[in-house]
């Protein structure tokens, strides 16, 4: 299965409370549940969707271990491989009613064997004290550097006997390069902590090979087809050529058919290469919007030539920007325009335009 939107692995999915939330948000969801009878409910919900998949598995730090899974009285929501411990004090009306023997696997194994066919963008872990074990069984996946966020149910002091504390989860994810984005402990002493992978870490990555010449986009005049509620001002277009490259959008048009941004170099140059850095902040759904990007050039602003496009999916400061070599191309104007069959906004990070002719040459406007 190929999917171009965000991908979530939800560990401890219970009977699928999030199934339709993910489905309606165009998210491909893998929902993992350890209890067979609860999995049946989960699977029934997933089967009537287009992009939700149920997996019956108990995730831990290593595969092949037989463990006792305790089934809780509250529709199995508090079920765990650990004894209740402090949970009995905080929630005295909840008890264990039965047990099942289950065999563990790991997230790494599910991905490497193809049960989960893509490395996820996001991971949600709600496993009633076993969160650290699940993370330890995901280290090879997390070291790939492509997981953008991890949401973990954490307790300041473990609710379950033998379960993980927040400090243990924090220490492991900090070592793996994630930072704590948010956590807000409730009066029972637990929270859903969100850890994120720093999307800005590659902003200074060198391109290989390096572009030839000078970035003549610096100092160019820029206009855009429209502004949006997210625009900084109606004069924000110039930010696309400032060269900051941070993964955030520098300008943002309204949602419209074929939105564009126009770069006026103020004089005709022989172009060597154009490099376009896509917006990365906000996830794949934001990056995906530029898939139909086209590059047009003109010497006079009236007669246009198609230089490249549609572009397909491309990245930015992650090391995968769009790079277009320009052979025998002379232009004063460069237009970047979407060619989608539905209304979309255009929002990019940075555009660089290279020429062996420096902008220190005599810039005479025709």
Give the contacts of 124 (CB within 8 A, at least 6 positions apart): 8, 9, 10, 11, 12, 18, 150, 151
Reported as a single tens digit per residue, the pLDDT across 181-223 is 889 999 999 999 999 987 665 545 556 788 989 999 999 999 9
The mean pLDDT of the chain is: 90
Cα separation, 366 vs 364, whole angstroms: 6
> Does 354 have pLDDT greater than 70?
yes
pTM of the model: 0.59
The token duo for 263 is 């770069």
Residue intervals in the chain for CATH 3.40.50.150: 7-196
The ranges of the chain annotated as CATH 2.60.120.260 are: 214-355
Instruction: Specify the CATH architecture of the domain 7-196.
Output: 3-Layer(aba) Sandwich (3.40)
Q: How far apart are CA 346 and CA 157, in angstroms?
A: 46
* Average pLDDT score over residue span 69-96: 93
290: helix, strand or coil: coil
pLDDT interval class at 3 (50, 70, 90): very low
- pLDDT tens readout for residues 54-63: 999 999 999 9
Residue-wise pLDDT tens digits, 26-44 = 899 999 999 999 999 999 9
CATH architecture assigned to 214-355 = Sandwich (2.60)
Sheet of 7-11, strands arranged across = 52-56, 28-33, 7-11, 122-125, 149-155, 190-196, 179-182
pLDDT at position 360 is: 63
């Amino acid at each position: 299965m190929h999917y171009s939107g965000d991908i979530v692995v939800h560990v401890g999915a219970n009977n699928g409370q999030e199934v339709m939330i993910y489905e309606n948000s165009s998210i491909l969801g893998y929902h993992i549940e350890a209890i067979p009878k609860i999995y049946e409910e989960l699977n029934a919900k997933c089967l009537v969707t287009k992009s939700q998949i149920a997996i019956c598995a108990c995730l831990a730090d290593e595969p092949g271990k037989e463990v006792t899974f305790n089934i809780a009285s509250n529709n199995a929501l508090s079920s765990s491989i650990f004894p209740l411990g402090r949970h009995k004090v905080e929630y005295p009306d909840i008890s264990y009613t039965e047990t099942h023997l289950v065999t563990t696997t790991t997230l790494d194994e599910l991905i490497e064997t193809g049960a989960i066919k893509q490395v996820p963008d996001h991971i949600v872990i709600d496993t009633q004290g076993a969160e650290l074990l699940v993370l330890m069984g995901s280290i090879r996946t997390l070291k790939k550097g492509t997981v953008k966020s991890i949401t973990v149910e954490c307790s300041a002091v473990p609710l379950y006997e033998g379960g993980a504390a927040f400090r243990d989860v924090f220490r492991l994810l900090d070592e793996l390069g994630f930072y704590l984005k948010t956590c807000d402990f409730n009066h029972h002493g637990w929270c859903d902590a969100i850890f994120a992978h720093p999307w800005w870490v590659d902003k200074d990555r060198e391109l290989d090979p390096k572009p030839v010449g000078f970035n003549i986009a610096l100092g160019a005049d820029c206009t855009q087809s429209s502004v949006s509620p997210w625009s900084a001002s109606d004069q924000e277009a110039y930010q696309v050529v400032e060269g900051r490259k941070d993964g955030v959008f520098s300008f943002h048009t309204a949602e419209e058919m074929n939105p564009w941004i126009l770069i006026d170099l103020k004089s005709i140059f022989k172009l060597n290469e154009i490099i376009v850095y896509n917006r990365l902040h906000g996830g794949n759904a934001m990056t995906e919007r530029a898939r139909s990007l086209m590059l047009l050039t003109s010497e006079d602003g009236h007669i246009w030539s198609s230089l490249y496009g549609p572009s397909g999916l491309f990245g930015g400061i992650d090391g995968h920007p769009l790079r277009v070599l320009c052979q025998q191309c002379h232009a004063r104007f460069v237009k970047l325009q979407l060619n989608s069959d539905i209304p979309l906004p255009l929002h990019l990070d940075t555009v660089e335009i290279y020429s062996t002719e420096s902008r220190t040459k005599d810039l005479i406007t025709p």
